Structures are given as structure tokens and as C-alpha cells.
Structure 1
């Protein structure tokens, strides 16, 4: 899976090189895009309705939450509804992966915040350092940022994802089938 903010070039290039890659849109970026399409006085209500979609425990409940959102806001803010509707499938890709990973894959912000520090320092020092010095600085900034990273939840599930185990609403088919046999 690749998580992005909607840059079409990234998705196209990834699809050419890694054709089976699934795409997930960043909910933080999408929420900002939606909020830009409604008046400031409505943004808190709209944000809560959008959060209800991606916080749903299953794809079915997320789709219902989206329908409620669409019914509530389509008449007054059609562009806000269209903003989500146009990417709904890509926004809900995370439901096909382990639930333990959802926290990490619904947004690109952890990646962006890590590189924000590097970007800030390299822009400020552009032209003042040699290639070797700048690479050393970027490496050290990355090491420094690493101290604040959270451990990946559900890292033991990565092997399942790599083997192509199918997940439905964050639960593997194997676990669902075991549950059916027990019941």
C-alpha cells in the first residue's frame, strides 16, 4: 500500500513500477480539502462528520457514515461532498489491511513531519555546504527524528500482508473462518 495526498504523478509512477500497489489517500489532507469548501462557522460540524467516516470500525459503517454526511451537506455544500465522493474507494483502502495498522496508514503526516525538519534545515543552508556535509546533516537529522517515532503497531502482521493474506475490515479471512467454525 502507498499512502499519498492525491498527487496523481506519484500514483501513476507507482502503478507503472509496482502494478499491484494499493493506494490510500491521506485523511488529514482530504479533511483539509473538504473544510476549505465550507464556511468557517460550519467547519467544526463538517470535520466531526468526516471523522465519523474514517473512524468507523468497518467499511460498511464508513459507507453509512458517508451517506449521512452526503445527505446532511450535499444541498448546501456539494463541492465538499464531491471532494470525498470522488476518492471514496481510495480513502477506504485501509479496511483491507490489518486493523492494527490503520492508525499508521490513514495519513501521511508522520512521514511529512519527519521530513519537515530536514526540509527546513536544508532550505536554510542551501548553497552553504558541500554535498557530503549536507548528506551528513540530513542523516543526523533523521537519526534525531527517529527518537520520537512510535513503534509500528501490529508489526507482526507485516508478514501476513507480504504473503497476500486477505483482510476484511481489518481482520484476516483466516481469523474470520476460525470464528465461524467455533460458533
Structure 2
């Protein structure tokens, strides 16, 4: 028999999740699914005429790739990408333009990372900051990932700072001024 008298208390489900965020994630998941299915149907229609001697299509649906999570501005969204089977040997493959094979985070997440870095979030604190922004399920953005991204940003900045400006023309306006909000003695007496 154990002498442990500690009883773990769990938070009720209603306090752990935000119903509006869950609704948004469910809607995003459905929207992504519909868009990817439409992409697949376009590909299948392009190869509808490719048939074998028995009249069966040579390019057909063939289940789904393993489910994966995409980090979005509303937290992680699980997606399933359909697969095709090319029986003709032409090498037809389906790669969604919306969900490329190695996409793990949306563009909005990629854009917020440099902004957080410039605002002073240290590499080691990114995970905690992103959990606060994206929810506790934020994954895939470790300190080593941020360090690699930082190297990319530094290279981009270096190439940007060395770009050729000879053929560029910029118009600018320089304005300088001082605004005083001083009231006279009579103005102050009227206010009182």
C-alpha cells in the first residue's frame, strides 16, 4: 500500500479550452480539407482520359498521407493530404500548392518570429512566448530552430544592405517643427 496522499486535481475541460478557438480551428481544418480536395479533383480531371484497356482510370485516389499539424495563428490545425496512385507509370504525383510536403507553419507564424526577436525575446524564451501566443500545443519552434532562422535572417539582412541602389529613385520630404501648447494668462483665467 502506498503512503502517497496526494490527489491530483484536473481542470475541468470547459476551463482548458476556448470554445471559439476550437470552432475556428475546426472551420480552418474543414476549409483546408475542401481546398486540397478541389486541387486533387483538378488533377484527377486532367488525367481522366488516361484509361487502361478495360476502361479503368490510370490515375486514381489512394487514401491519405499521415495526418500532420500545421502551426497557425489560431494554434495547431491537423490536416490530412490525399494521395493518388498512378497505374500508368507516367510518374504523376499530387503535391498540394496550399500544403506543400514540408510545410509545418503558416506564413503569419514565420513573420512573427523575426518581430519577436527584434523586440528582445531571447532564443531560449521563444517557446514560452509562442505558447502564450499560439496555445500550449505550439510545437516545432525550439531554440535550435530559432537559431537556424536567425542565421537565415542575418544572411537576408546582409544581402539587403549590399543591394545596388544606382537605378533606384526615392522621393522624400523632410519636415521639422516644434509644437507648443502654451496658453496666455487671460486664457487660463477664462478656463478657471
Q: TM-score, normalised by structure 2?
A: 0.23
Q: TM-score, normalised by structure 1?
A: 0.24
Higher relative contact order (CA 8 A, sep 6+): 1
| Greater C-alpha Rg | 2
